[in-house]
Amino acid sequence: MNRAALVRPVMTWIYRARRWGWRHFKSHGPGVQAIVWTERQTVVLVRHTYMPGWHLPGGGRKRGETPLQAVIRELEEEIGLRSWRTIRHLEDVTETSGNRTHHIGVFSLTGVDYLPRWSLEIAAVEEFDPARLPVNAGVARRRLAQWFAQGAEPVLPATIGSGGKADA
């Protein structure tokens, strides 16, 4: 039996157990997501081991962590972020699903260099043409469509930081 065949059911069970616990015992903390642009003007998406579809990379903020620190840490963990040209905070969104409310800081990074590595959480990291995102990339498609409708460009002039290194 190969590693993926074993990891997927275990991680799916863990994910479902955690969601049940969050739903019944814990309020959901703030999180971050990133629209990651490469030099080739492609968007980087991730496929998790525990749920179907393609997603924007991101995750929860740790206690005392700023949204900027969280998005950089999550990108290091999920896609193997090594460097970027620009990073911009796009917006803070509040979404409700069922009885849960999620507060998410959405960022855009351009000129990203990354090197994916194997992890228990991420099954795949791939680049996509933003005009041809996979059908099963719901939130990613919605966020990109929203920003393009507002006239956002992949290379955004207002930045929080520039020329960042993930290890710095």
Q: What is the pLDDT of residues 21-78, one digit of tens each?
A: 655 555 567 999 999 999 999 999 999 998 899 999 999 999 999 999 999 999 999 9
Please state, in angstroms and rounded to a whole number, the distance separating the CA atoms of residues 134 and 140: 9
Is pLDDT of 128 > 90?
yes
pLDDT confidence tier of residue 141, bands split at 50, 70 and 90 = confident
Domains of the chain from N-terminus onward = 3-155 (3.90.79.10)
Select the more confidently predicted residue: 124 or 151: 124
Please state, in angstroms and rounded to a whole number, the distance separating the CA atoms of residues 92 and 30: 10
Percent of the chain topping pLDDT 70: 79
Which amino acid would we find at residue 125? Answer: V
pLDDT at position 87: 94
Cα torsion 102, 105, 110, 116: sign: negative
Mean pLDDT of 140-153: 72
Tell me how far apart the terminal alpha carbons of the chain are, to the nearest angstrom. Answer: 40
- What predicted TM-score, i.e. pTM, was given to this entire model? 0.75
Mean pLDDT across the chain, nearest whole number?
Answer: 83
